[in-house]
Amino acid sequence: MTNLVRVAPGALVVGKPLPWTVYDAHGRVLLTQGYVIHSNTQLEQLFEQGLFHPRMPEKKETPEATEDVRDRNPFYDYPVLLNTLETTLNAITAGEASAFKRLLGLTRLVQRSCQEAPDPCLALVHLYSVEPTAFEHTLFHAIVCQMAADQLGLDSNRASILVAAALTANIALHPILDRLNASPRTLSDDQRDIIHRHPERGAQALSQAGIDNSLLLDIVRQHHERADGAGYPRGLEGGDLLPEAELLSYAELYVALITRRGYRPRLSIGDARKSLREAGSLSARPRLCQALLAALTPYPPGCLVRLANNEVAVVTHRPQVASGHRAQAIISAQGDRYLGAFQRHCQELDYNIRAQVEPDVMPSMDFGLLWGFG
């Protein structure tokens, strides 16, 4: 089939769910999205057998969210979002005339996905947090920012600018970010210099591409500043720091903590929340960090938990006014993998959440089935 391309080495990671369905040369489905490769041997066999994945549309125009009236399915849209993000950042870096339009379209698409399917969007952040690429990191920052903005009741225009800033804040780091995250070595002086200068360089790239919104540029410049003055590049503190920049810094911190790096393992969600609370305690605006934590909840969608009946389940929905978390049980109390999944309402005593589960290898799961997408 002409719309399929070979899966390149490095595109798949052991222990991480597939971001897209994998096909053979005839277009037949071999592995569905959510399947987890469990060993390097299995990974090598997939490459040797010539598996393919769908090519992303090679379009010059960024999809316009307002023209796409389909109900949002973030799992289906995930590779589209990542491809559109890459195209948008490349357009900004190249100073293309379409850069601003692309960024607006991508921002609308991310916001609409978060507003129409918030729990599946948060699930993306946690299901793919094993070893995300630089583009995945960036998408996760934007999703977390939108969730926090909704929790805060942030003005829609400022929320859009915040999401656009989250999508572009690390544009100057993207060429080296994957290498930095994978490296077990201490940063070199040159690497530290690049990191400390990337907020200003990112703002410059946006400005040179004709993106001149002053709030957006200032958020990008300030997203590594800290309320106690310990941030960079200018050591701003307190009231000099934009609340949107502070919120983005918390989103980046959370995503960094729950993802694996070459120099450290990923933290549990509980430990990441503790670190966030500590960071927020230094701020004169504690409600920002509190809103982000409230939006995530202690057991956000996509995380694995052990229930009171000893089943292992994946959380699918955050609590509503009259109900608790909802989850889908995927492993029995005896440790056997269910053929399907069973919905559990976690406010019921037998299904109360007892703890987060951190398996050595994430189990495979059918995202569409768990979240009720066709």
Clarify whether residues 19 and 107 are in a common domain. no
Scanning 183-307, the segments in alpha helix (DSSP H) are 189-208, 214-222, 243-258, 269-280, 286-296
The DSSP call for residue 291 is H
In a domain, 59, yes or no: no
- At residue 292, the pLDDT reads 98
Closest CA to 227 of 281, 163, 154: 281
Clarify whether residues 46 and 69 are in a common domain. no
What pLDDT digit, counting tens, does each position of 316-332 carry? 999 987 789 999 999 99
Domain, as residue range, for 313: 304-370
CA dist., res. 112 & res. 137, Å (int)? 19
Clarify whether residues 249 and 317 are in a common domain. no
To which H or E segment does residue 81 belong? Answer: helix 74-93
Clarify whether residues 24 and 131 are in a common domain. no
CA dist., res. 374 & res. 372, Å (int)? 6
Clarify whether residues 313 and 216 are in a common domain. no
In a domain, 146, yes or no: yes
CA dist., res. 179 & res. 10, Å (int)? 12
- At residue 49, the pLDDT reads 64
Give the start-end residues of each E strand in the chain.
4-6, 22-23, 29-31, 52-54, 304-307, 312-317, 326-331, 337-345, 353-356
Clarify whether residues 263 and 342 are in a common domain. no
Could you give phi then psi for residue 291, rounded to 5 degrees?
-65, -40
Clarify whether residues 192 and 322 are in a common domain. no
CATH code of residue 116 = 1.10.3210.10
What pLDDT digit, counting tens, does each position of 179-224 carry? 877 777 777 888 888 899 999 999 999 999 999 999 999 999 999 9
CA quadruple 63, 131, 44, 370: dihedral positive or negative?
negative
Clarify whether residues 152 and 204 are in a common domain. yes
Clarify whether residues 72 and 136 are in a common domain. yes
Clarify whether residues 279 and 352 are in a common domain. no
Render each residue's pLDDT in the chain as its tens digit; 374 residues. 456 666 665 667 788 888 877 777 777 777 888 888 888 887 777 776 655 554 444 444 444 444 555 678 999 999 999 999 999 999 999 999 999 999 999 999 999 999 999 999 999 999 999 889 999 999 999 999 999 999 999 999 999 999 999 999 999 999 888 787 777 777 788 888 889 999 999 999 999 999 999 999 999 999 999 988 899 999 998 788 999 999 999 999 999 999 987 777 889 999 999 999 999 998 989 999 999 999 999 999 999 999 999 999 999 999 987 789 999 999 999 999 999 999 999 999 999 999 999 887 889 999 988 999 86
- At residue 58, the pLDDT reads 42
Clarify whether residues 207 and 225 are in a common domain. yes
How many distinct structural domains can be found in the chain?
A: 3
CA quadruple 274, 287, 303, 129: dihedral positive or negative?
negative
Domain boundary among 296, 320, 343: 296
Clarify whether residues 151 and 291 are in a common domain. yes
